[in-house]
Chain A
Amino acid sequence: MNKPQEKLVGYACAYTPLALLDAAGMTPYRVLPVGREWPDQAGTLLHDNVCPHVKRLVNRARANDLPDLSAMVFMNSCDAMRRLCDAWRAVRPGDKTVLVELPPTAEPHSAAFFTRALHGLSQELAQAGGDPVDDARLSASLDSWQRIAGLFERLRARVRRQEFPGGPARLQEIYNQSACRSFSDTLAALSVLEESPPEGAPTRGLVPVLLIGNVLPDPEAIALFQQSGALLVDEDLCTGSRLFAAGTPGTETDPWNKLSSMLLSKPRCARTFDPTAPLSFAQDVLSRARRAGALGVIAHVVKFCDPYLSRLPAVRETLRNEQIPFLILEGDCTLGSIGQARTRIEAFVEMLR
């Protein structure tokens, strides 16, 4: 249920400009694909061979298992997201549904276009009851975003050192809560956590692993990795660290350009790439694994995710050349599918020991 006078804006992608929603005085609400088991009817609108994340969101929308939303924002991140937007319009024609252009690359002309798209979103949010966003408000929200990103970075460090009770699973719960909270509430909650003293005795014998992928919001699914003997020393999921990660503003001073730059340069989903360095995503994964001291890398991606499926072979080859074992799991973003992979995860970890 909404808090009084809270204007919720639904979203489904880690590239959503949460700082802009905050600047408009609106509360972001990430529509997650976990919760109840909604009747599976998405295939009748779309196709069964579409990303299960998208299908589950369609099912959730059809089941009306949503709070009152002032607007629903989709980013033009991939084919599946575009089809989700189409299906959302069909299932919830009364919603204010916005599709924001998101370039796949970050050249200056594309970044400038994205800036204009963000201005357009701001106007749509105003029509949905949001406050007008001026430079000052947006700058303040960008500052809040960067503070949140920093707090999460420090929290992740504590999780890595096993000084945080509940570990990665608890952190995932915090991500999920923060994804549906105002910046001010998130800052308050994270600040309390930051003040709390380190707790917990490290579990010995865990093998350090980097987890990459996209949608895996169920804390129990995250817990499964540690139960299988893996210590997640770093994680790169769009329902995890990528959501609040802030890229660099570079030399931008205009807050709209800063927002555009920070989104396009944040740790990337595989759908974003650098045309001057094809498949450099694989190098990013290698660098991240090395920085984190991971002995192996596990990729968990949802089935039918074309951006990841087309880049994972390069990741595999790059890691193989560096003799870093790599395990690919495909799932449907639920605990059930990851549970089936438990044996594979355990075998992988055992191999790493």
Chain B
Amino acid sequence: MMYQYFDTLVTGIENVLANDPSQKSHRKLYALEVARLGRRLYSKTDCLAWCGVVAPFDLLAAMDVTSCFVEFVGAMLAATGASPEFLKEAEDAGFAPDTCAYHRAVLGAGRKGMMPEPDFFIATSAPCTGGLGVMENMAAMFQKRLFVLNIPQNDDPDSVAYLADQLKHMVDFVTRHTGKPLSMDRLAEAVARSNRASTVMADVYRLAEHVPSPVSARDLRNVGIVSALLLGTPEIVSVAEAFRDAFAARIAKNTPGVPGEKLRLLWIQNRIQFKNDLEDLLENEFHTAIVADELNDITWDPIDPADPFPGMARRAISIPLNGPVQRRVKHLVDMARRYKVHGAINPCHFGCRQGTGARGLVAQGLKEANVPVLNLEVDCVDVRNYAPGQMRTRIAAFVEMLENRPNPWE
């Protein structure tokens, strides 16, 4: 089913682009590459690794391993409307319904044969404990070897050295499974592409800061977290450049992403993955633009292609969802100022202890920076308890409140 889904997506987009080059948009290119990745995952032809969120995907690509974080499948199942079946499968197997639905969907998919069998697993302790649990369960389910990257909380020299050392152990682990040693030349090329892509994406995010913003809610949806899966590849550089060129063109033509932009919002953590009308509501009824996402940011410095492991370690440690919440709040406040947002929305993903667990501290920190936060109690993957009417009411009230506040940026 999932192979067919991705194959149909790929074919469809390729046909559109072949038949009508004017349709070649940044979002289509991005969707095409993500769909190609999905197809490779389910193709049964590639050496496949299921991973945690901050695994070094460019390093794995340089070793000819197709890799992906498992939550990607949870998100895809939600996007296709298929998640309830797999959530129920997991719950019937005894996985508590108040755990993260990304993980429950993946466990259910695994139990129902919907997760392609990997060659091995690479778990990461960041962003969350639940992620480690699901990887351990999957490794037992598939009877495959598991490697764990323990991501320290801080980027002090010892922690960076420890994680860099673990990455080298990981390389040995992968080599034992693939029989192919890592080529440092290939890794250097992959790192150079990652650096290039990151530099261009930083430009993309800077363009999004423009007032009015060139982005619509759909433009950068999930881009930060999903594009990490394509790091090291030539394709991500092309995709990043397409985004940059599109936004630059919109700014030049004074074509904002949300016509008549009245309010600007920062979206915290992840978007809601299943189909919902919140983004349309914000843009079309309230002329409110989601100009920034917490996870759409480059939080690391360029990595030295000649000695990439410390830089990759720092990259993993630097993600907003790792480390003390005080650091996370500082990053959010910085984003709020850069993007000149009027408010923030936090979809408090049910079962997310590491992210949503800090809901109050995050809201408090942003409040001190004069950025009101709307906490939406919603499960980003499980549509079964979604109450669109309630969400609409809460968003309408939030927007009304923002409209009646003095503009903090004037």
What chain B residues lie within 8 Å of A306 (beta carbons)?
99-100, 128-130, 133, 353
What chain B residues lie within 8 Å of A303 (beta carbons)?
98
A107 to B134, CA, bound (A): 20
Q: Verify B326–A83 contact, CB threshold 8 A.
A: no
What chain A residues lie within 8 Å of B153 (beta carbons)?
76, 82, 99, 101
Distance in angstroms from B121 CB to nearest chain A CB is 9
Give which listed residue, B96, B133, B324, contacts A86 with CB less than 8 A: B324
Q: Verify B139–A278 contact, CB threshold 8 A.
A: yes
Chain B: which residue is nearest A110 at the CB level?
A: B150
Give which listed residue, A45, A86, A109, A309, contacts B326 with CB less than 8 A: A86
Known: A76-B153, A116-B158. Is A83-B93 also a contact (CB below 8 A)? Answer: no
Complex interface bits, A34-74 against B, C-beta within 8 A gives 1, otherwise 0: 00000000011111011100000000000000000000000
Distance in angstroms from B54 CB to nearest chain A CB is 14
A275 to B52, CA, bound (A): 14
Q: Verify A313–B353 contact, CB threshold 8 A.
A: no
A87 to B162, CA, bound (A): 27
B360 interface residue (CB < 8 Å to A): yes
Q: Verify A99–B324 contact, CB threshold 8 A.
A: yes
A76 to B132, CA, bound (A): 14
Residue count of chain B within 8 Å CB distance of chain A: 48
B136 interface residue (CB < 8 Å to A): yes
Give which listed residue, A87, A104, A109, A273, contacts B361 with CB less than 8 A: A87
Q: Verify B130–A310 contact, CB threshold 8 A.
A: yes
What chain A residues lie within 8 Å of B357 (beta carbons)?
46-47, 49-50, 79-80, 83
Chain B: which residue is nearest A280 at the CB level?
A: B140
Q: Verify B146–A278 contact, CB threshold 8 A.
A: yes
Known: A109-B169, A310-B137. Is A85-B147 also a contact (CB below 8 A)? Answer: no
User: Which one of A50, A82, A279 has the highest number of Cβ atoms from chain B below 10 Å of its Cβ?
Assistant: A82
What chain A residues lie within 8 Å of B324 (beta carbons)?
82, 85-86, 89, 99
B351 interface residue (CB < 8 Å to A): yes
Distance in angstroms from B356 CB to nearest chain A CB is 5
Q: Verify A314–B140 contact, CB threshold 8 A.
A: yes
What chain B residues lie within 8 Å of A99 (beta carbons)?
153, 324
Give which listed residue, A45, A79, A273, contacts B130 with CB less than 8 A: A79
What chain A residues lie within 8 Å of B162 (beta carbons)?
109, 113, 116
Known: A101-B153, A303-B98. Is A47-B325 also a contact (CB below 8 A)? Answer: no
B348 interface residue (CB < 8 Å to A): yes
Give which listed residue, A113, A273, A309, contacts B99 with CB less than 8 A: A309
B222 interface residue (CB < 8 Å to A): no
Chain B: which residue is nearest A317 at the CB level?
A: B94
B358 interface residue (CB < 8 Å to A): yes
Q: Verify B350–A105 contact, CB threshold 8 A.
A: no
A271 interface residue (CB < 8 Å to B): yes
Distance in angstroms from B224 CB to nearest chain A CB is 21
Q: A85-B324, A109-B166, A310-B99 are in contact. List 20 more A-B contacts (CB 8 A).
A: A46-B358, A47-B359, A49-B350, A49-B356, A49-B357, A78-B129, A80-B129, A80-B357, A82-B354, A86-B326, A89-B326, A99-B324, A275-B123, A275-B136, A275-B146, A278-B139, A306-B128, A309-B98, A310-B103, A310-B130
